[in-house]
Structure 1
């Protein structure tokens, strides 16, 4: 029935009204009446104005517009002298008139929904949804937008990762749905958030959502070519709607870049709904060439009056309060196309307040107007209908008391499709101001504010209690007496005169009723009457304050760059056949180790005296989970090879800087251990202040995370329902997926071949193009996986954790697999009861390449001390122990030709230590990567002082804002999730 109704409505969109329907309404509402609004200042589009202009309206459209145009004889004329007319605003990302999605009962544990037959396998892909199916116009909700100046809204059902099409509606509270619906199908919508209507668990991470969107688009292309033997309504809808504007809700600046990269991969240019932090990566966002839809829900100041609560607010959040209002100005200066949305505002009524804050940072009136009118019209491809005031376009405009963005300007009327919707009667005079009335020799000072909603009455500087009502042109003020013991009242009832004074009768407590005149005091026309600033003067533009790379604590004001540096007279741990060299120089040039020797010439190099200090290659953490956004595990399936950590590297994670302070220069960011076949890893250099893509190794070796044991069989899950549930089931998962990958390879080139990102990755493993790092503990499973790999013609690269490696070290050496383990962890769960601290030394003695890893954000800062434990437990030499955290992990990661030792031609990834790096008192003084100093002990001390000073400056500003009466928010402690192997995020 709903589909039938939508078709009926669609059939009459081109008509202003159903002319064959009987009209029982007030004849004044008939839309074919010609109307003329005259004598107004008309802003037809940003920067274009008609003085003393006229708009002719007929059948909901602008029939004529200009100055001195002829008015039809039968027109109903409205005089708008002294008023301004602007195009009504356009909301490009709303959910107005949409029913709320019904939340699925139960927890997200289901694998599939058997009830959705005929649709895509993943319930969060709902491309078949149509906004029309959820449309339910609410005039009260619409009035909030009408009062704020909006005439048109693109709305959609905001549920799912693929959400289907939206619709474009006119906010006409006087018409019918047929009048309101301008386009039944407008944009096609996507997000990174799952559907509330489904219990399906996949995806459980941001990287999973990105991978799902990629594969869905690959499948849609395959389906469009007629290869599917079954019907899929979701993919059909995705293909049907591919010519609509493609809009995706991303969120913050990092996700803007991520979804644009996704769009490039699947051949789409998305319009991206971003955040208020684009200014932090403005050049990168401009390079996407994407149009943005930008929220303006700038954060309120924090209430930091309590010093104990102040420390809940980090420096980055303090800066956001200071800088976010400058986002629109920065977007405009960069030439980025953007529209403004009221998304995330408590009410559309907050729009103008937020815009005026943005204007304090340099946003111009024309830029703001464009972002509300012409730009959204262009983005939505409806600029033939709305966005400007031109002949033939819809008569969507607002009438205001003055210039739109001035403080005292009000919106009187919002005309939508030629239908007038009154917000405030513009015939009622503005009575705000100061007046003087004299009664029986007593002078009353009267102040009226808020369009007659507030009044203040004084006698001899004594404020009296007062209440005011203002209706039509009549004012009624009731005051208490000066003497608080006197409970009698004086009532002033008057009418506004043409000269803006008001006069009437005073009803005194003694029964007298003298006449009075309240004379309005003149205000200086050159000032705004509030802060004394002259309207003609340009106000001082607010500064955004200090911005750094990255824009959080410990960021640098300029991005660090490579230097030519000579380390003079150091103890050099080469990790090469030369061993440890005393009193040796190392020259760094062009990001590489240029020379190693004694008494090297400095040239123009910066010389660092390293006498008594130790120079080593940077520490490499083979197994880390820092610097990952929104989920380390994609736990929804038992194989998730399609996801990659490279999609979600978080370049702003302060643990990067902390690791640098511990001498770490390279980390492998691994997927968690929730499933047997996990996701692909990211091998990064910890280049603090650089964006994520610049951290990832160039020509990075390909790795993937496998896992065995308790985590994958869900031993400690309360509601684990996914296969496998046993260790033998884990083995079967590998057998099954490798068999499927072989079959996939055989199908390549066939007529109906379907590209599958997951199978492509598994095939890379079988062809020894991708290396496996496997989470492991128990001897039997370690043996099992080596046998599975040998059966399928490849070898496991690394067993990580492997706390029972000492039991199978000889077999590991025979297989050719390395062991990346903990120095001395044991007994933290049942399957590690047999762990011993001699594990690393025993594997090393059997010829296994051994590394010590962290798997922990705190341990990664002291891996030098973890390496020293190999000396204590097993008698490993200092040089070999040091290789456990440098050269050996480099070998395991296949980057030892670039880093891991101090050798001419290798990357200058170096650490200068104050003492022997295996000492408990050792600390890095300088950590460099590619010849760029990213940590310097002396600079760190300066950072700490500058952070203290900047925090105090921002605290003072926020306290000042609170004292001025501005809204504040209570500080709340926000602990960053420190991911471990088993952490499930969503």
Structure 2
């Protein structure tokens, strides 16, 4: 039925467009207007780089016939003289939801369907809706169209901004004077995507950014499989995706790092997304440029904060203060880098803010030529409609602006916005600018009148000396109506006057408070040269000194990236974490990022020499179980999320990276949380503060995945009654079921026959083949035993039990199975299944031959792991050397990176920490933390950074106070949430 309706709608549009010439004329006398219209003597900006002075623009039937200097004007032509005025192509907004009804949020409680789709015959996930067509939900919005035309726009791309795969968009001309048959330029233009779920469904998957990325990848894989005829059931979603493959793909990413995430997915499937950015691209220009993508850029520049209350001002992060200061440079920075981009009204609170913000971007260095390109030829090119709009060339729609001067000057008035040859008046061309100061004599008093603002929206101010009178002014068709009231006497004066064409003084009638009428004259004052200069100065957007970027562009970021250095540590106490043990008064030479030599009396040979006398040199601390440096931790929308990976959501700007470096940590495994029995894949990273996400991840990184047991996965602490499993027995059966399926999948894959690639089962098959390792969240001995038995049943081994606070009960079985233990030093009794935890756990497991590491699972504890290791000496009597291995070589072994890091050994990466004292002492400070020969933390430099942060904050606050005192907009301070993730964090 839906297809029939769509077909009838399409036929009706086609009929209107083609057959309207022979429709009966029953509603009055009608004649077809076939005349030409010529706009003469104008400065015509054919495109951003081609201008014709005293030119002619000739249009007919909504199209441009020609533009140039010597144009033959036909006899049946209406001629409009535009001497002194300019003509530009109307602007194009590539990203709107114009005329599309806002989707209604799904209702329902916790028991509503969370884990299954609500649609039959469509893709299994409600948030994938490529079959959705904007034209089916479109209704022309005259009110919004008028607002858009006032900002210079003539054409918009619109779609439903809801879901991950959002369906197709459409192109609409903002033409109030015609019907859909004319103003709908293209009813299918572009496929739209985002990382955000649909509000119309309560289906819980995906519940995270990494889940959205995994789902989108699987959609593309499934579409390819479906297209090859391998799926017997009908899927209208995949059919729509396949049908519209030839359309451009537009992706709302929303910020600099998501831009790159979207681009990475596009590269994987051969799609060059047109990416809707976030306005912060200036922070990652090299990576943005390297993406080779086209961008749609919003200009919703942040407002200053109100910092008058010093206590409230402390809540504002330096990152947010910098964003206010630096964001207006974004278009200029993209321009200078050669990144192709267009501009959009998207994300603006009010459409009317667009021109103001655009002028601000120009004041900050965006060239007017580039600005015009970003609003005309660039969006036309991106949307594949350069043959229709974007310039004033022959054959294109007659979409153009008539202005009083250069389009981006603040003094310029936009008179008319012609769309498809249809005139839309924004401001009357005959209206005279009346800004200025006047004197009015009335009732024996002389009033001072100041008129400011634009011709379309003038503002009045009436005063006598210091007394201001409440006033109201209207200006239309060169008639001025002004009323003003004396608040003390409540006397009101009413005036009406006409503005002469040449401007200047005006006169008319004034009605006195007693009702008597008199003539009056508003005599305009002649502005002095200095007044004009001050006036011009006031009308220019203020440009503030822009703070330099750091890497990353947050507090404690590096002004310049650390450089690799050869260095020689002299006379240190060296904790090798190898059989050599602790070496006194020993030298360590670092060359080309590697540990070159270990010994006494080594020669520097040009290396920087560091006196380590009385200090301790160790390998960098390694945290086997961390949740810092990630944007999301859990994908709990399904009982298995093996298809997701933390590598997709590594956050290189998390200040906890820097704090961990201050605690001597150089490598961590970022684990998925424990929302489901089979979690997501891990990211193993080096804490290279200042690098982007890809620069943090280990090259040739070992493959890991997080499994989980216990209370969290069976949802003991949150009420979900529909997701399996609900019991510990169910957890075991889930593992068995998934591994049986993975086994079948792997057999099909190895058979050589066609098979549907499934990212989830692909990951589990890697476990069966010994290509991926399990780190399993665990507590009680019964479940630890259970998972080892399941693994042995499928002929693989669990790599690590993490937490494992009852590991001391099953240490012998762990050794037999070949699994390591990564545990806490002294956490216990924080939930029911931890009641049997003891602080001797690590020492007991180690005594039985288990490879034991101490982990954090906590953003605060992770920077004190050196002290946590020391607790194993108190609880269990481990030797100092063995205790230190629990945070160096042992976690390296568990992560299969011990051939590269974890100990001081010739040939290994120079990931080193120079401590001021015994490394497990509470008094020890990491004086230098080095990764591959680059110093990423230095105690002396840290003090300088702290002072620099204070200075910069004070400078930015002064700028914000000046902004407020100068009448600029400000917003109240807000405290940025510094969220520390744990295993049970919701997302």
**TM-score interval, normalised by the smaller of the two chains:** over 0.9
3-state DSSP of counterpart to 2:782: helix
Equivalent pair of 2:115/2:722 in contact (CA under 8 Å): no
3-state DSSP of counterpart to 2:858: coil
Deviations 1:331-389 (A, max 9, x none): 00011011111111012111001111111210111111111111000000001000001
Pair 880,171 (structure 1): closer, same or farther in 2 beyond 3 Å: same
* Pair 1:470 & 2:472 matched: no
Pair 460,976 (structure 1): closer, same or farther in 2 beyond 3 Å: closer
Deviation at 1:922, TM superposition (A): 1.4
Match of 2:963 among 957, 961, 964: 961
Q: TM-score, normalised by structure 1?
A: 0.96
Pair 708,62 (structure 1): closer, same or farther in 2 beyond 3 Å: same
Compare 492-501 and 895-904 and name the one that shifted more: 492-501
Compare 75-84 and 573-582 and name the one that shifted more: 75-84
Partner of 2:386: 383
Deviation at 1:402, TM superposition (A): 1.9
3-state DSSP of counterpart to 1:421: coil
Match of 1:775 among 774, 777, 797: 777
Q: What are the residue-to-residue correspondences of 1:184-195 with 2, within 5 Å? A: 184-195=187-198
Partner of 2:524: 520
Deviation at 1:4, TM superposition (A): 3.6
In the aligned structure 2, how far is the partner of 1:584 from the partner of 1:361? 55
3-state DSSP of counterpart to 2:684: strand
In the aligned structure 1, how far is the partner of 2:488 from the partner of 2:228? 89
Deviation at 1:600, TM superposition (A): 1.3
Q: What are the residue-to-residue correspondences of 1:926-937 with 2, within 5 Å? A: 926-937=928-939
Partner of 1:729: 730
3-state DSSP of counterpart to 1:959: helix
In the aligned structure 2, how far is the partner of 1:456 from the partner of 1:36? 41
Deviation at 1:529, TM superposition (A): 5.7
Equivalent pair of 2:62/2:397 in contact (CA under 8 Å): yes
Equivalent pair of 2:432/2:501 in contact (CA under 8 Å): no
In the aligned structure 2, how far is the partner of 1:335 from the partner of 1:25? 56
* Pair 1:174 & 2:177 matched: yes
Deviations 1:37-64 (A, max 9, x none): 2222221111321222222221111112
Pair 486,704 (structure 1): closer, same or farther in 2 beyond 3 Å: closer
In the aligned structure 2, how far is the partner of 1:275 from the partner of 1:575? 46
Pair 528,24 (structure 1): closer, same or farther in 2 beyond 3 Å: farther
In the aligned structure 2, how far is the partner of 1:300 from the partner of 1:539? 14
Partner of 1:642: 643
Deviations 1:761-811 (A, max 9, x none): 111110101111111111111111111111111111100001111111001
Deviation at 1:449, TM superposition (A): 1.8
Match of 1:942 among 935, 940, 944: 944
Pair 260,511 (structure 1): closer, same or farther in 2 beyond 3 Å: closer
In the aligned structure 1, how far is the partner of 2:82 from the partner of 2:530? 24
3-state DSSP of counterpart to 1:420: coil
Deviations 1:149-181 (A, max 9, x none): 111011011111111110111111111111111
In the aligned structure 2, how far is the partner of 1:121 from the partner of 1:572? 58
> Over aligned residue pairs, what C-alpha RMSD do you find?
2.2
Pair 323,30 (structure 1): closer, same or farther in 2 beyond 3 Å: farther
Equivalent pair of 2:800/2:822 in contact (CA under 8 Å): yes
Match of 2:337 among 318, 324, 334: 334
Deviation at 1:661, TM superposition (A): 0.5
In the aligned structure 1, how far is the partner of 2:234 from the partner of 2:569? 68
In the aligned structure 2, how far is the partner of 1:514 from the partner of 1:785? 98
* Pair 1:857 & 2:859 matched: yes
Deviations 1:95-132 (A, max 9, x none): 01112212222257635546411111111111111111
Compare 280-289 and 489-498 and name the one that shifted more: 489-498
Pair 846,440 (structure 1): closer, same or farther in 2 beyond 3 Å: closer
3-state DSSP of counterpart to 2:22: coil
Q: What are the residue-to-residue correspondences of 1:748-897 with 2, within 5 Å? A: 748=749, 749=751, 751-897=753-899
Deviations 1:810-832 (A, max 9, x none): 01001110000111111111111
Deviation at 1:71, TM superposition (A): 2.2
Pair 49,13 (structure 1): closer, same or farther in 2 beyond 3 Å: farther
In the aligned structure 2, how far is the partner of 1:294 from the partner of 1:339? 6
3-state DSSP of counterpart to 1:594: strand
Deviations 1:684-743 (A, max 9, x none): 000001111111111111111111111111111122421111111111111111111111
Partner of 2:974: 972
Partner of 1:133: 136
Q: What are the residue-to-residue correspondences of 1:102-113 with 2, within 5 Å? A: 102-107=104-109, 110-113=113-116
Partner of 1:202: 205
In the aligned structure 2, how far is the partner of 1:605 from the partner of 1:569? 15
Partner of 1:664: 665
Pair 91,31 (structure 1): closer, same or farther in 2 beyond 3 Å: farther
Deviations 1:873-894 (A, max 9, x none): 1100000000001000000001
Deviation at 1:516, TM superposition (A): 4.5
Deviation at 1:425, TM superposition (A): 1.7
Deviation at 1:478, TM superposition (A): 3.4
Partner of 2:953: 951
Equivalent pair of 2:117/2:203 in contact (CA under 8 Å): no
Partner of 2:562: 560
Partner of 2:507: 503
Equivalent pair of 2:806/2:841 in contact (CA under 8 Å): yes
In the aligned structure 1, how far is the partner of 2:247 from the partner of 2:705? 37
Pair 114,276 (structure 1): closer, same or farther in 2 beyond 3 Å: closer
In the aligned structure 2, how far is the partner of 1:476 from the partner of 1:696? 68
Equivalent pair of 1:31/1:58 in contact (CA under 8 Å): no
Compare 115-124 and 862-871 and name the one that shifted more: 115-124
3-state DSSP of counterpart to 2:38: strand
In the aligned structure 1, how far is the partner of 2:13 from the partner of 2:400? 25
* Pair 1:308 & 2:298 matched: no
Deviation at 1:666, TM superposition (A): 0.3
* Pair 1:905 & 2:907 matched: yes
Gaps in structure 1 of 5+ consecutive residues: none
Pair 105,752 (structure 1): closer, same or farther in 2 beyond 3 Å: farther
* Pair 1:254 & 2:253 matched: no
* Pair 1:718 & 2:722 matched: no
3-state DSSP of counterpart to 1:584: strand
Equivalent pair of 1:567/1:586 in contact (CA under 8 Å): yes
3-state DSSP of counterpart to 2:20: coil
Pair 463,824 (structure 1): closer, same or farther in 2 beyond 3 Å: closer
* Pair 1:373 & 2:376 matched: yes
Pair 697,13 (structure 1): closer, same or farther in 2 beyond 3 Å: farther
Deviation at 1:498, TM superposition (A): 3.0
Pair 374,329 (structure 1): closer, same or farther in 2 beyond 3 Å: same
* Pair 1:98 & 2:103 matched: no
Deviations 1:842-878 (A, max 9, x none): 1000000000000000110100111011100110000
3-state DSSP of counterpart to 1:422: coil
Deviation at 1:475, TM superposition (A): 2.1
In the aligned structure 2, how far is the partner of 1:849 from the partner of 1:806? 13
Pair 30,920 (structure 1): closer, same or farther in 2 beyond 3 Å: farther
Partner of 1:363: 366
In the aligned structure 1, how far is the partner of 2:479 from the partner of 2:309? 48
In the aligned structure 2, how far is the partner of 1:442 from the partner of 1:871? 93
3-state DSSP of counterpart to 2:423: strand
* Pair 1:747 & 2:752 matched: no
Pair 295,527 (structure 1): closer, same or farther in 2 beyond 3 Å: farther
Compare 263-272 and 540-549 and name the one that shifted more: 540-549
Deviation at 1:260, TM superposition (A): 0.7
Pair 487,348 (structure 1): closer, same or farther in 2 beyond 3 Å: closer
In the aligned structure 2, how far is the partner of 1:889 from the partner of 1:956? 48
Q: TM-score, normalised by structure 2?
A: 0.96
In the aligned structure 1, how far is the partner of 2:402 from the partner of 2:484? 35
Pair 727,466 (structure 1): closer, same or farther in 2 beyond 3 Å: closer
Equivalent pair of 1:677/1:705 in contact (CA under 8 Å): yes
How many residues align? The count is: 979
Partner of 2:627: 625
Pair 90,979 (structure 1): closer, same or farther in 2 beyond 3 Å: same
In the aligned structure 2, how far is the partner of 1:234 from the partner of 1:301? 44
3-state DSSP of counterpart to 2:964: helix
In the aligned structure 1, how far is the partner of 2:339 from the partner of 2:117? 45
